[in-house]
């Protein structure tokens, strides 16, 4: 069964990459794009883009801080911020964001956590992010196909459903044999922690949407903030489902096609898509810079778990 899933995922990835690469090289206006990219507004790109990236790392650092405190470890916000940046850079460089393991190992070195709870929280973090991404993507599709009002109503309904599901899960009692599964279940049973993580995850994706909005504005693509938020969710969901490492060409083509359907001229939509790829490279550059400049020995206060 596992081998069948891997073969299916590899097949989807190859087909998605082949189709999107063909579209990228044959449909993009490579004659006009260099000039358009050179006219991009550096203030919106570097100011707004970098600001949103740093704010997103702050939200991620707060999520880790809440869980580590629950485990009896207090790591400074600054150290967690550095780890979020370094982890983001490592994830950007590796297929399927496998570089997140760098973040976990750095946190283990700082906090003294055992592997199971540390990796358990990483998985729980991914689950919260996936839930947020697919909720935003669903709402975005509904807003585009039906109406913006129904899109917002869908997003609200999915958020309420997620909270209700978490409340039900918190009451379920079972004893997992695997320590990793037990650590994930332990997090999901804490209603207060789930509420905090949900709020921080929502805040994180609002920040990501703002980053996409400022980047597109830098390219001259004027999109509403809510539309940029939906676009980020839809494209992220497509990227995940494509199984293509880094969503190379899949992301660019998807963004360009959706912007064109929203009424933007093809060359402008394509330049916006390419600038959003540069936004991803900015994440990498800032992550490496933060890791190199941050003090290497953050203070850790280890207390007995309550």
Q: What is the pTM of this model?
A: 0.86
Residue 83 has which token pair? Answer: 């780890």
Tell me if 100 is assigned to some domain: yes
Tell me if 104 is assigned to some domain: yes
Provide the domain limits for residue 69. Answer: 48-292
Residue 299 pLDDT:
41
Tell me if 15 is assigned to some domain: no
Instruction: Please name the residue that has the structure tokens 């995922």.
Output: 9
Residue 34 pLDDT:
92
Tell me if 149 is assigned to some domain: yes
Residue 245 has which token pair? Answer: 């490492």
In tens, the pLDDT along 48-100 reads 999 999 999 999 999 888 888 877 777 788 888 888 888 877 777 665 566 77
Tell me if 219 is assigned to some domain: yes
Compute the C-alpha angle 111/105/80, nearest 5°.
Answer: 55
| Distance in Å from the first CA to the final CA of the chain | 41
Ranges of residues in the chain whose predicted pLDDT is under 50: 1, 297-306
Under 8 Å between Cβ of 111 and 73: yes
Pick the closest to residue 265 from 201, 222, 218 (CA basis).
222
Residue 117 pLDDT:
78
Pick the closest to residue 61 from 116, 94, 110 (CA basis).
110
Q: Dihedral sign for Cα 232, 238, 243, 249, please.
A: negative
Long-range contacts of 79-84 (CB under 8 A, 24+ apart): 79/110, 79/294, 79/298, 79/299, 79/300, 80/107, 81/57, 81/290, 81/294, 82/290, 82/291, 82/294, 82/298, 83/107, 83/110, 84/57, 84/58, 84/60
Q: How many domains does the chain have?
A: 1
Tell me if 110 is assigned to some domain: yes
Pairing of strands 300-302, 73-75: antiparallel
Residue 210 pLDDT:
94
Tell me if 174 is assigned to some domain: yes
In tens, the pLDDT along 169-197 reads 666 665 555 667 777 777 777 777 888 88
The secondary structure of residue 246, as a DSSP letter, is G
Residue 229 pLDDT:
92
Tell me if 298 is assigned to some domain: no
């Amino acid at each position: 069964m596992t081998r069948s899933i891997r073969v299916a995922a590899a097949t989807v990835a190859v087909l998605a990459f082949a189709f999107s690469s063909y579209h990228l090289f044959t449909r993009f206006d490579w004659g006009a794009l260099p000039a358009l990219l050179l006219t991009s507004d550096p203030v919106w790109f570097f100011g707004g883009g970098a600001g949103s990236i740093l704010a997103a790392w702050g939200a991620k650092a707060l999520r880790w801080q809440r869980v580590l405190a629950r485990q009896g470890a207090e790591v400074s916000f600054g150290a967690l911020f550095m780890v979020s940046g370094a982890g983001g850079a490592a994830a950007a460089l590796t297929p399927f964001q496998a570089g997140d393991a760098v973040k976990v190992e750095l946190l283990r070195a700082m906090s003294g956590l055992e592997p199971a709870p540390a990796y358990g929280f990483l998985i729980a973090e991914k689950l919260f992010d996936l839930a947020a991404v697919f909720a935003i993507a669903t709402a975005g599709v509904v807003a585009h196909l039906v109406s913006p009002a129904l899109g917002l109503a869908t997003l609200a309904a999915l958020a309420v459903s997620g909270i209700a599901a978490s409340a039900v899960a918190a009451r379920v009692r079972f004893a997992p044999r695997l320590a990793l599964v037990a650590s994930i279940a332990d997090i999901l049973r804490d209603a207060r922690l789930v509420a905090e993580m949900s709020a921080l995850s929502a805040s994180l994706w609002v920040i990501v949407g703002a980053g996409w909005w400022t980047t597109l504005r830098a390219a001259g693509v004027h999109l509403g903030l809510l539309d940029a938020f939906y676009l980020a969710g839809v494209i992220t969901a497509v990227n995940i489902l494509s199984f293509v490492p880094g969503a190379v060409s899949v992301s660019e083509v998807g963004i360009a096609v959706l912007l064109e359907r929203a009424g933007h001229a093809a060359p402008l939509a394509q330049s916006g898509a390419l600038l959003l790829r540069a936004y991803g490279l900015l994440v990498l550059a800032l992550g490496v810079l933060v890791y190199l400049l941050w003090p290497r020995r953050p203070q850790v206060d280890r207390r007995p778990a309550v």
